[in-house]
């Protein structure tokens, strides 16, 4: 638990109308279906604002062949392949075992067609889940395997379909593997998204030079961890420019392993901060992150963590220097 009443007050915030104990969110795929980390001694779900459950599809999936995970010099590649027991099993067997008094739980909806996204969202709508995160980085089987999230048109279609299926808050998880993330955010906002998660993993590859083969069984995977943080910060700032006039909140994520990392994301425009790969380095990181964020607030005279959101002060842009010669 958060140690003091004052710290609890400073760190408490809201996201899409949901009360969060802390701005920290445990990211989808890193903590299973919300039960796994409760087995780690010293960890409490009450230390975080929300937990995103593992990506869920309509039917059960076995996922990709091994190897599925590979550590890089500054992060991790993964290609799990959305292994999950299916939406009906999650709602009937897993959700009843979760303690919704400790934290908020967010379902992560995945699919291969717009219709699948809509149906899985409808299943979670009839459940105690607090909100729904849409993973639009999945390949669209009807469009030759192009990821939904790489096209503003397809992204908006998915959000619009999910909006029809639920009254719960919808958080759209945006992919960095596209030309204009701000335009995609604008289209998703118009289609009914209540918030955004920025960013999903970047696509990458690792190669075994001796075998002359990719290390990942799926050949390529998603890169996460500290290596992507500078990119993620820029993408959060770009999406924030679209969201700010409408009061739409963002979960900033990508390489958070310290309180300073989390603070940087909030300054760039994130209302909450996702922690994922960092948990593989340190399973009990969240308590230290909360304490570090609280210390920053105290040192800089902020009454609450929400005061940090979008507080970045940009450098002035000077005119270009033109070299000249004197005759």
Query: Among residues 30, 52, 138, 286, which one is catalytic?
Result: 138
Is residue 138 among the annotated active site residues? yes
Q: Residue 237 to residues 174, 264, 316: CA-CA distances in angstroms?
A: 13, 10, 16
Using an 8 Å Cβ cutoff, are 30 and 279 in contact? yes
Q: Which sign, positive or negative, has the C-alpha torsion 156, 27, 54, 278?
A: positive
pLDDT digits over 35-72, tens only? 877 788 888 888 999 999 999 999 999 999 999 999 99
pTM of whole model > 0.75?
Answer: yes
pLDDT given at position 316: 86
Q: Nearest Cα to 23, choosing from 307, 282, 236, 283? A: 307
Q: What is the token pair recorded at 277?
A: 């790969």
Q: Cis omega (within 30 of 0) on the bond before 309?
A: no
Q: What is the mean pLDDT of the chain?
A: 93
pLDDT digits over 241-251, tens only? 999 999 999 99
Q: How far apart are CA 154 and CA 149, in angstroms?
A: 7
Local structure of residue 44 (DSSP, 8 states):
-
Local confidence band at 281 (pLDDT 50, 70, 90 cut-offs)? confident
Across 279-313, b (16+ Cβ under 10 Å) vs e yields bbeeeebbbebbebbbebbeeeebeebbebbbeee
pLDDT given at position 318: 60
| 122 Cβ contact partners less than 8 Å away, ≥ 6 residues apart | 165, 166
Distance from chain centroid for Cα 144: 26
**H-helix or E-strand spanning residue 278:** helix 278-281
Local confidence band at 2 (pLDDT 50, 70, 90 cut-offs)? very low
- What is the third-level CATH fold of 5-308? TIM Barrel (3.20.20)
Q: Residue 231: pLDDT above 90? A: yes
| Domain chopping of the chain, boundaries | 5-308
SS3 261: helix
């Amino acid at each position: 638990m958060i140690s003091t009443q004052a710290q609890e007050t400073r760190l408490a915030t809201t996201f899409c109308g949901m009360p969060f104990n802390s701005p920290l969110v445990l990211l989808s795929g890193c903590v299973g279906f919300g039960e796994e980390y409760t087995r780690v001694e010293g960890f409490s779900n009450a230390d975080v604002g929300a937990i995103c459950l593992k990506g869920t599809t309509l039917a059960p999936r076995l996922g990709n062949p091994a190897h599925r995970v590979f550590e890089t010099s500054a992060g991790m590649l993964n290609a799990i392949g959305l292994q999950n027991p299916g939406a009906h099993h999650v709602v009937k067997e897993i959700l009843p075992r979760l303690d919704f008094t400790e934290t908020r739980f967010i379902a992560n909806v995945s699919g291969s067609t717009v219709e699948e996204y809509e149906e899985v969202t409808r299943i979670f709508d009839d459940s105690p889940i607090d909100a729904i995160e849409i993973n639009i980085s999945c390949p669209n089987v009807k469009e030759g395997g192009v990821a939904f999230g790489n096209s503003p048109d397809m992204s908006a279609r998915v959000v619009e379909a999910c909006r029809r299926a639920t009254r719960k808050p919808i958080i759209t998880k945006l992919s960095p593997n596209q030309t204009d993330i701000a335009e995609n955010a604008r289209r998703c906002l118009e289609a009914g998204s209540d918030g955004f998660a920025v960013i999903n993993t970047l696509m990458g590859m690792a190669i075994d030079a001796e075998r002359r083969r990719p290390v990942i069984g799926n050949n390529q995977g998603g890169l996460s961890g500290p290596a992507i943080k500078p990119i993620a910060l820029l993408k959060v700032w770009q999406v924030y420019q679209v969201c700010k006039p409408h009061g739409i909140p963002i979960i900033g994520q990508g390489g958070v392993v310290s309180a300073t990392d989390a603070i940087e994301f909030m300054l760039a425009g994130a209302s909450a901060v996702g922690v994922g790969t960092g948990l593989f380095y340190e399973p009990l990181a969240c308590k230290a992150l909360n304490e570090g964020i609280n210390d920053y607030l105290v040192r800089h005279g902020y009454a609450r963590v929400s005061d940090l959101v979008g507080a970045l002060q940009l450098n002035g842009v000077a005119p270009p220097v033109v070299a000249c010669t004197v005759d």
